[in-house]
Chains A and B, each alone.
Chain A
Amino acid sequence: MEEGKVYSQSVAESAAAYAIIKEKFGDAISAFDANETMPFFEVLDVARWQEIALFLRDNGKLKFNYMACLSGVDYPAEEKLGIVCNLESLGELGHRLAVKLKCARNGGSIPTVSCVWHTANWHEREAYDMFGMLFTGHPDMRRILCPEDWEGFPLRKDYKVQETYHGIKVPY
């Protein structure tokens, strides 16, 4: 494989990629946030996330073949949970774009993209483990870092650690 293109720091390339997505999906995605450090857009119609993800990966002008990171986020003010996906076109077009999704804080769910990018499998399990949103269609939706019978979701802002775990005092 050829040496990949030097990763672009320019927001303009991300904006060009966004324009292609906006043309196809219209109102399903939000306006483009062209900040310097992490340009992103939000998927408003969460149910279409898988379809959008496939388009991002397979469209010839986008080719986002690499998911660098998927982070869970808590938005207590909006009563929402969310994820942030950092995508880029590794070795192909060299542009980057971040995608955000939000769901309800209690019992919210987001469609999985582990079938689009395999790496999302463990990242989504981690997000579920720490925040508690479910990923519908995920092949293996279990906790990954905490024990399976742990109570609560540690990275939520209002998390209170449980008193005891199997008779062991937890806070010390």
Chain B
Amino acid sequence: MPSRSRFVALQFSRLVALLPFLFLGLGEAFAAAGHDHLPQSAEEVAKPFGIPITNSMIMVWVVALGIIILCRLATKKMQLVPSGLQNLVEWLVESLFNFFAGIMGEHLARRSFWFFATSFILILCCNWAGLIPGVGTIGLTAENAPAGDQFRPFFRGANADLNLTMAMSVTFFGLWFYWAFTEIGPKNFFAHIFAPKGDFGKLMLVLMVPLFLFVGVIEVISIAVRPVALMFRLYGNVYAGENMLETLMIMDKVPDYLKWLPALPFYFLELLVGLIQALVFVLLCAVFTKLMCEHHDEDHEESGHAEPDPEPAAGSSAANS
């Protein structure tokens, strides 16, 4: 560990060297300052009333506040002929809705849009906000913490905290069960997993039943693994990206005034990764939803009732029949 005076001098030289990039939002000049490595979990910054406030929570609040303020400004005085912020927000909402309607159909998209759109926007904004200079570098030093782990940043990439990705995954699977049960009914839900698919003769059906029961058990395991895969995929990619940037900026053999350079190309990569990970998360969620509810849609289209069903129970009985 460098001495305190050397540490301050290093930070000052990095700040001066990276000033143009800071303005461009490309530098995370302080990143190497506090940690000798990026911790796997979010760090507790405060604990009012016994409730731990982690740096990823603060990041979510800041990002959410930004999104909410932007949306309020855009929708406060809505005009029939849009302009400015309203135009931007309308474009975003309409594009997302068309995207999800293309995957799941308009009926399912209307029901579930709030979840998918919020997940996408929040994940994307959190991922990109994690690249802003100051995230992971502005914070406090805990005196009583072990050496090398004394720095406590105020902000951390929100999706580099498994609590948030798990919250989103668990919410999705709760909703997934609700949407599936209300769209196709419990009977069709279990039939979709365990029942033989295709037209078989009686003898063939008897032979196929154990096979499809086995396939159903595998499907149940697959369904159970999905939230775990979702939360770890998002967390892993974001955490890996942040870790890579931090590691690249504390490489020993690079002169201090050039320490920002190795990480620079990867900031562009992380911008792309942030978008792709947001897209992958919501895309998989949408596909899982569509796969379970598609019988319902097919039945409706065949019977000429492609319009949204106001009574899910009626839709279920139609699907059952």
A and B are partners in one complex rather than unrelated chains: no
